[in-house]
Structure 1
Amino acid sequence: MSNKIAVVTGASSGFGLLCSIELAKNGFHVLATMRDSKKSTELLETAKQQNVAQQLTIHTLDVTSSKSIKEFKSNLLQYPTIDVLVNNAGFALGGFSEEVSVEEYRLQFETNFFGVISITQEILPIMRSQGYGRIINMSSISGKIGFPGLSPYVASKHALEGYSESLRLELIPFGIDVVLIEPGSYATKIWSIVDKIKIDLESPYKSYLTGIINEIETGKTKHGNPLDVAKLVALIASDRKRPRFRYPIGNGVKSTIRLKSLLPWEAIERIILKKIGSKLDNK
């Protein structure tokens, strides 16, 4: 197999599906992984439409299962190299911190954070032995700034950012690049998070949630095309030049990050709370 090899986690939908297609179009043979291979229908149909079906191989991989990861690693022996790893598998859990169980927080971190570490640790020895590689971690604007009602997801992405900073510094001497993609709001299924927020009718956060939902729903008109993110991933994977570490992308993302670095936190509080129609108590 003469193609470069790319591993993509969470490839059954969203960014993962589109990244797999774009990488295939850029000459990669893509090991498109997903927890349930029965959900590969959309990916395979899209690949056929784009004439890249022969560039894809579907593998079952649950990044939260050590058994699944070991089985996947054994399949890697048939490939000459692993050139790119796209850590995309993830989901979003919403809810107010007081009302989200610690177990739910753990489940969020198992996929979005520990899952990334687990698969990366299995791929790294391969990349080190070949003397090169590129690891692309799918973060979020939520990894840079918090938002009420989304603390499980926000916390997992903040953790991913810190892990990736350390990992990049550790792997530079081995010729392995680590990259963070930081998308803003895009039209993917992740926004079903809003529909999944469970709240008791007598919850003190009920009115708060209404404002958050209204802000998220209003913002959907500004959601970007997720294909832009996939094309960026393919470009980074294909570019011979050493990539930057962070790639913020999406409407208002760069300005939001810039404002956070410039404004005092109290000002940021007021901006966010005003957006969702809440008030600072006694301030």
Structure 2
Amino acid sequence: MSTTRKVILVTGASAGIGKEFVKVLLADGHTVYGAARRVENMMDIQQLGAKVLPLDVTNDESMVQTVQTVLTEQGRIDVLINSAGFGLNAAFEDVSMADARYQFEVNVFGLARLSQLVLPAMRQQQAGKIINISSIAGRMPSPFAAWYHASKHAVEAISDSMRIELQPFGIQVVLIEPGSVKSEWGGIAIDNALKHSGNGPYQDMVRGYVATVRDMDARASEPAVIARLVKKAIDSRRPRIRYVGGFMAKPLLLIHKLLPARLFDALLASQIKPKKP
């Protein structure tokens, strides 16, 4: 286990697990930069010692400026945690191509571009870690989230390719795959599903979907569960390729692995049947 204090950049630090990552890593004595669009929501972590930066992961100039600021102030970046992301939840038919592209801009292209930007410095150091926050959604399907799942599948593939390419330079790539975690995610998913698909041909299934999401949210794990996995990945000299945690994450992945596809489809379909009053 490494006890070296590191310079760490965390995206999506204004809420949820991203903010929790900052808190846990500050407590370990690391120099932590929290970056997000909603700077006003990061004043609490700034008071704890975080260095707060504005960041829009859909804007290249913003991403370049963020990385340059950290390198100018610290001379290095030891760890990048790509935590920024959101879920576009609705029936596949009801999602516009503009919205689908934006889902990928945030969840995939922002992550990829920031990784590109930190790599020259990490290669020069001959060391570094890129920790990509994926999801169990990157390894299994579910209804009313096709574009979100597609984005996380992309994160998984990009990370696997990066890991092999970067190993000769001493740079490690780690995937974190949360299950259900308490955050803004569930509320946003419900709002999107109702907005896009709540009054059309999918409305009955959407009601079942919303009920299932609310039930999962009520039993979701605390963000600290995922923060502990990130801490393990940072502290370990040879971290795992994937860390899985959060409510129902491991059981769902196991069921998906063991069940034939049609049976797994039937299981998911049962979760979006309209719930009786």
Query: How many angstroms does 1:82 deviate by?
Result: 1.0
Residue in 2 that maps onto 1:69: 63
With 5-14 and 210-219 compared, the bigger mean Cα shift is at: 210-219
Question: Percent identity at matched positions?
Answer: 36
Could you tell me how far 1:277 is from its partner in structure 2?
2.0
Asked if 1:138 is matched to 2:133, the reply is yes
For residues 246-267 of structure 1, what are the alpha-carbon distances to aligned partners after superposition, in whole Å with 9 as ceiling and x for unaligned? 1111222112212222221001
Q: Superposition pairs for residues 158-173 of structure 1, below 5 Å?
A: 158-173=153-168
* Equivalent residues of 2:25, 2:32 under 8 A apart: yes
Give the match for residue 267 of structure 1. Answer: 263
Q: Structure 1 residues 6, 276: CA separation in 2 closer, same or farther (over 3 Å shift)? A: same
Aligned residues of 2:181 and 2:247 also touching (Cα < 8 A): no
Query: Which residue number corresponds to residue 80 of structure 1?
Result: 75
Aligned residue number for residue 59 of structure 1: 53
**Counterpart for residue 105 of structure 1:** 100
1:78 to 1:42, Cα distance in 2 relative to 1, 3 A: closer
Hey, what does 2:218 align to over in structure 1? 221
Name which of structure 1's ranges 139-148 and 108-117 shifts more when overlaid on structure 2: 139-148
Secondary structure in structure 1 of the residue aligned to 2:80: strand
Counterparts of 2:211 and 2:198, CA distance in 1: 18
Task: Give how far 1:20 is off.
Answer: 0.6
Give, in angstroms, the shift of residue 70 of structure 1: 1.8
Counterpart position of 2:142: 147
Work out the CA distance in 2 between the residues paired with 1:218 and 1:272.
Answer: 14
Change (3 A) 1:121 1:204: same
Q: TM-score, normalised by structure 2?
A: 0.92
Residue 221 (structure 1) shift? 2.8
2:246 match: 250
Seen in structure 2, the aligned counterparts of structure 1 residues 222 and 36 have a Cα distance that, compared at 3 Å, is closer
Query: Per the alignment, do residues 201 and 84 of structure 1 end up closer, same or farther by CA in structure 2, a change over 3 Å counting?
Result: closer
SS class of match (2:34): strand
CA deviations on 1:176-229 (whole Å, 9 max, x unpaired) are 110000000011011122123214665110101011111111222321111111
For 1:190, the equivalent position in structure 2 comes to 185
Q: Does structure 1 residue 9 correspond to structure 2 residue 11? A: yes
Cα offsets for 1:138-181 (capped at 9, x unmatched): 01111111111111211111111111111111111111110000
Task: Please state how far the C-alpha of 1:41 moved relative to its aligned partner.
Answer: 2.2
The alpha-carbon distance between structure 1 residues 250 and 277, as it changes in their structure 2 partners (threshold 3 A), is same
CA contact (8 A) 1:12 1:42 kept: no
1:39 correspondence with 2:41: yes
Instruction: Indicate if the aligned counterparts of 1:13 and 1:43 stay in contact, CA closer than 8 A.
Output: no
Q: Which deviates further from its counterpart, 67-76 or 23-32?
A: 67-76
Q: Aligned residue for 2:121?
A: 126
Gaps of 5+ in 2: none
Task: Give 1:156's match in structure 2, choosing from 145, 148, 151.
Answer: 151
- Where 1:98 maps in the other structure, the secondary structure is helix
Contact 1:93 1:152 in 2 (8 A): yes
Is contact 1:4–1:81 with CA below 8 Å preserved after alignment? no
**Cα distance between partner residues in 2 of 1:156 and 1:177:** 21
Runs of 4+ in structure 1 off by over 3 angstroms are: 199-202
Letter in 2 for 1:196: N
Which letter does structure 2 place at the counterpart of 1:161?
Answer: E
